[in-house]
Structure 1
């Protein structure tokens, strides 16, 4: 039982915050089942009316039990994302502060594996620009994959240290810092986190969080918003840090007017405001969030920079058949130094050059493909894209066929056209194949293939569970 593993000093701290009666309820919740929640991609999946909705997220829903998501092709198509419910509160924050301006530039500083970034991308709905960053390289590539499944082209993924963003003076309208923390809110979901907790670690995390904010604050525009979040409970990492940030950087805390019925605890200290999630009060894990608006500084406009790796393609130097693959309307085509072509919003082309000058970009817009003798070899990201051409030939697969395609042990298809085909499941792309007649070439990247034993692990859960009741393309 998780409640028996909690360190004494942690329990004392929570008791002082909640009181003995509420602490008893907190302990009971620590031994309860962890809620399972998903967030649907409204461009790929219709609202599942049979599921309980997450109160603070219109696209968030709870599942009665945790299925084997790997065995649902809809999961691989990006029809939904498995995300902890409390963290979906970021979507409510964005709605409250308003993101109606189509030109907004948003940074998710510590974005992997991608839950909050895919949520932001969904809310932007193809407008504005999202820069999702992750300092750890292999996690940055996981972030890239999860964002590509969302299907939007207005996304850049970077692999940088927070201090690298200090050069981008007044560049972003909104910066989300989901700060590395002591992980107290994850004790129920991941009991291993308990063994890593100590008062000293809490102190170190608080100092690290302060440094991260110091590094990234120059990149926030005047009147811009800093969204700060953690998955912990203690004041040192939460409201005390918010107070320091507000005082040091001339920031004003934003009152979000959260409905009482949600039972999210509003934390106030010296006029500073934060919002705390407790598992005995909400259907989710421990979480903290606060919003601060920047008051000072004159806005600074960055000079245009020469891109290190990106070249804008014109009609003469792009593949002749490119428009057979992708809808270019309101977009430009960028080529990286390896030759891969990317679809990117034209209005942000100069911003992409600036970002490429200062940062390490590992994903820019939608990767369309790599030209080979002026003929395009399509990228996996294009199979998942919302901007791919409707003229592309497709082959619709049932659950069993789709799973074998995703495992890369499907060797032939019947009654299909020869040539390039988009493999689809319930109308949504899951990857490319090339039908040669007597066999197929499966172009699913090896790193994305299903590794588990399909036949051993498979149940009827996805055939009977309408989680996959999503909109046909």
Structure 2
């Protein structure tokens, strides 16, 4: 047994020292060896005769060769996880996620739909973990195309990734509310919101892409969602075009780093500039979503990305810019806590209430969900007005009254006789202006003065 372990260690060292290999099996073995050494660096590192940074650099280069990433994106994703977990993430991202459908409860029940599809030869079962009451997992090998059954055409279900159930579950829309899906196409989340509301209230489904509106409208009509209104405006126009919603869902445009199994082109077409521009757009959209909700409402922010620039950093920005919001529990039954910090950057209080989902952990697309509660805005107290004229403090006891009286005796005095003369002269001038004789009878003069005034 011990000899076998020694041989494995020798093979590991040979794999680490070897040059670039075209054989992907050898590359995979070298990656696993490097990951094991890096995870137990104190025990295994010195024996390699190499620095940790050199080994990390080689491992990232092997990830690029084996999985087909650019060095930029491979390093960015590698830094999010522990070494061995990173390899699990890269491997899971090359594996398609299970095909899932969501039952349209406006038209049928999950039990009835499952039985109907089983009778047609479809292999399916409830989602793993039982966290969704409307989801079904479909297995390959069925003779019937799942997107062309009579039940599908009748709107009894929709093909929808399990991960996209999560933001709607966190949103928790209620009947008769007024809700907004800010980036709605192709309509999976919009129609789920409509179903949870029982076709009551209003669901405003917006998407900025005119080309995607057609598919959105088709799904809304097929699933019989009568409370949905479709709009085609830039999400940043809210709330100027419309506001006062009870709940808003923003499934923001993102890099797609969590859904690489669906779109492998992400591996090579995302640059640092893309992440910078996406982060800026996401921050703008989230602030507009928050401003579109009335006091007491809810905003859910989600992405299909695993990078912090598109997730925790955006949420932290919104918390700084809008003091009347706070993060609340998403209510989701699983998922990992959001990062409190990353590479020295702190994301603020409550960020652990957000949720992260990974393909190698929950077997769903990489996803992020945050939920905000909108509080009443604090009214600023009016500033105290300073007096424009100097004033004297009023006396508060007998001693101070006597002192104030003594001070008044030392002040200026007034001649009452002189004041009377000034008053009489002023009256005479006023009478003359009105054509009256100031020496006439005062009663008659007063009556005539009144008549002149009238």
Decide: shared fold, TM above 0.5.
yes
Q: Which runs of 5+ in 2 are unaligned?
A: 1-23, 25-63, 116-123, 341-346, 380-454
- Matched ranges for 1:100-139 at <5 A: 100=174, 102-139=175-212
Q: Is the 2:306–2:366 contact (alpha carbons within 8 Å) kept by the matching residues of 1? A: yes
CA distance in 2, matches of 1:143, 1:298: 39
Name the one with the larger helix percent.
2
Q: Does 1:142 align with 2:205?
A: no
Q: Tell me what 2:55 maps to.
A: none
Q: Is the 1:131–1:158 contact (alpha carbons within 8 Å) kept by the matching residues of 2? A: yes
CA distance in 2, matches of 1:85, 1:204: 28
CA distance in 1, matches of 2:371, 2:289: 15
Q: Tell me what 2:361 maps to.
A: 281
Question: Which deviates more from structure 2 when the two are superposed, residues 202-211 or residues 30-39?
Answer: 30-39
Q: Is the 1:246–1:292 contact (alpha carbons within 8 Å) kept by the matching residues of 2? A: no
Question: Which deviates more from structure 2 when the two are superposed, residues 242-251 or residues 47-56?
Answer: 47-56
CA distance in 2, matches of 1:142, 1:20: 41
- How far residue 170 of structure 1 moved from its aligned partner, in angstroms, is 4.6
CA distance in 2, matches of 1:44, 1:58: 15
Q: Is the 1:274–1:291 contact (alpha carbons within 8 Å) kept by the matching residues of 2? A: yes
CA distance in 2, matches of 1:296, 1:249: 11
Q: Tell me what 2:161 maps to.
A: 84
Misfit runs of 4+, over 6 Å: none
Q: Tell me what 1:254 maps to.
A: 328
Q: Does 1:235 align with 2:308?
A: yes
CA distance in 2, matches of 1:263, 1:276: 6
CA distance in 1, matches of 2:230, 2:236: 16
Q: Is the 1:225–1:291 contact (alpha carbons within 8 Å) kept by the matching residues of 2? A: yes
- Across the two proteins, how many residue pairs are aligned to each other? 293
Q: Is the 1:187–1:193 contact (alpha carbons within 8 Å) kept by the matching residues of 2? A: yes
Q: Is the 2:93–2:259 contact (alpha carbons within 8 Å) kept by the matching residues of 1? A: no
Q: Is the 2:289–2:299 contact (alpha carbons within 8 Å) kept by the matching residues of 1? A: no
CA distance in 2, matches of 1:232, 1:33: 16
Q: Tell me what 2:344 maps to.
A: none
- 1:236-294, CA deviations, whole angstroms, 9 ceiling, x for partnerless residues? 110010001111112200123544xx444444332123211110011211111101112
Q: Tell me what 1:184 maps to.
A: 257
* Equivalent residue for 2:348, pick from 243, 259, 270: 270
- 1:331-362, CA deviations, whole angstroms, 9 ceiling, x for partnerless residues? xxxxxxxxxxxxxxxxxxxxxxxxxxxxxxxx
What secondary structure is seen at the aligned counterpart in 1 of 2:185?
A: coil
- How far residue 298 of structure 1 moved from its aligned partner, in angstroms, is 8.8
What secondary structure is seen at the aligned counterpart in 2 of 1:185?
A: coil
Q: Tell me what 1:44 maps to.
A: 107
Q: Tell me what 1:11 maps to.
A: 74
Structure with larger RCO (C-alpha < 8 A, sep 6+)? 1
Name the one with the larger strand percent.
1
Q: Is the 1:57–1:89 contact (alpha carbons within 8 Å) kept by the matching residues of 2? A: no
CA distance in 2, matches of 1:158, 1:168: 11
Q: Tell me what 2:150 maps to.
A: 73
Q: Is the 1:267–1:275 contact (alpha carbons within 8 Å) kept by the matching residues of 2? A: no
Please report the TM-score for the alignment, with normalisation by the length of structure 2: 0.60
- How far residue 29 of structure 1 moved from its aligned partner, in angstroms, is 1.0
Please report the TM-score for the alignment, with normalisation by the length of structure 1: 0.58
Q: Does 1:57 align with 2:57?
A: no
Q: Is the 2:336–2:355 contact (alpha carbons within 8 Å) kept by the matching residues of 1? A: yes
Q: Which runs of 5+ in 1 are unaligned?
A: 300-473
Q: Tell me what 2:245 maps to.
A: 172
Q: Tell me what 2:286 maps to.
A: 213
Q: Tell me what 1:29 maps to.
A: 92
